[in-house]
Amino acid sequence: MAFTIALAGKGGTGKTTISGLLIKYLVAKGKTPVLGVDADANANLNEVLGLAVTCTLGEAREEMKKGKVPSGMTKDVFIEMRLEQSVAEEQGFDLIVMGQPEGAGCYCAANTLLTNCLERLVTNYAYVVMDNEAGMEHISRLTTNNVDVLLIVTDTSRRGLQAGLRINKLAQELSIGVKKSYLVINRVKTEPAPEVMRLITEDDLELVGTVPDDETVYTFDLQGKPTIDIDTDNPAVKAAFAIFDKIVP
C-alpha cells in the first residue's frame, strides 16, 4: 500500500511549493513511482511541477451528474476512463488534479465512484503526495483512512500558525486515520519566537523543521517557472530535504 503524505495549511503559506519539493525529494531518492494529488480548490501544483493539465476529476463529476455518460457505458466504467485520462505523467511521478464541482446539488454518488477508483489507482504507487486546501474535506473524502503523515505548513504569522493548529485539531476529529502530524514553518527569516513555540507545544504538535525565506524560490514563483527545477544546493531546498529525511521512511 502507498505511503500517503497529505499537506495542508492556510492559503499563501507555500504549501504547494513544499508539496512540489517533496515530490522532487522522493524522485531524487528513488522512492518511485509517486502520485501527486492536487486536492486544493486553487489548483496549481502542476505549475510547480512543470506539467500541463488537460482534464480534472471535477469535470468528470460534473459530466456524470448531468447525465453525460456515453450510451452503453456504465457510470463506473466512465469514471475509470476519465480517471485514466486525468493522469499527467512525468519521469518518476504522475499528477492528478481533483478540480472543483461547478454546480449546486449532491455529488455523493459521483464522489463515491471516484473514491473507489482512486483507491485502486494508488495501489500502483509507492508514495502519494496530496496537496490539500485549508479545509480537510478533500482528505476526508479521498484518502479513505490512510494518511500516514499530515504535514501542516505555516508561515511565521500568528494567523498562519493558528490556522495550522486548527487544521491539526480538525484532522484528529475526522475519520481519516492520520498516523502522525508534523508542523513545518516556511519562509523563516529568524528563529521562531518563544510565543510561537509555546503555542506549538501547548497543541502537542511536533515542529519538524523550518524552511528559510529564499529569493530564488520567490523568483521562480513570480516568473511561473517550475519550482521543482531549483537546484538541490539551494538553501530552501536543502532545508526541505532535511525535513523530509525525518518523515519519509
147-196 pLDDT, tens digit per residue, is 899 999 999 888 889 888 988 888 877 767 789 999 999 999 988 888 88
d(CA 146, CA 224) in angstroms, rounded, equals: 33
Q: What beta strand segments (E) does the chain contain? A: 3-8, 34-39, 88-90, 93-97, 127-132, 149-154, 180-188, 206-212
Q: Using CB atoms within 10 A of its CB, is residue 100 exposed (0-12), middle (13-18) or buried (19+)?
A: middle
Alpha carbon separation from 193 to 97, 185, 242 (Å, rounded): 37, 12, 21
pTM listed for this prediction:
0.90
Domain ranges of the chain: 3-247
Per DSSP bridges, beta strands 149-154 and 88-90 are: unpaired
Tell me: the pLDDT tens digits for 191-227? 888 888 888 888 889 999 999 999 999 999 999 999 9
Task: Name the residue among 77, 75, 142, 74 with its Cα closest to residue 111.
Answer: 142
Query: Regarding the domain delimited by 3-247, which CATH topology (the fold level of the hierarchy) does it fall under?
Result: Rossmann fold (3.40.50)
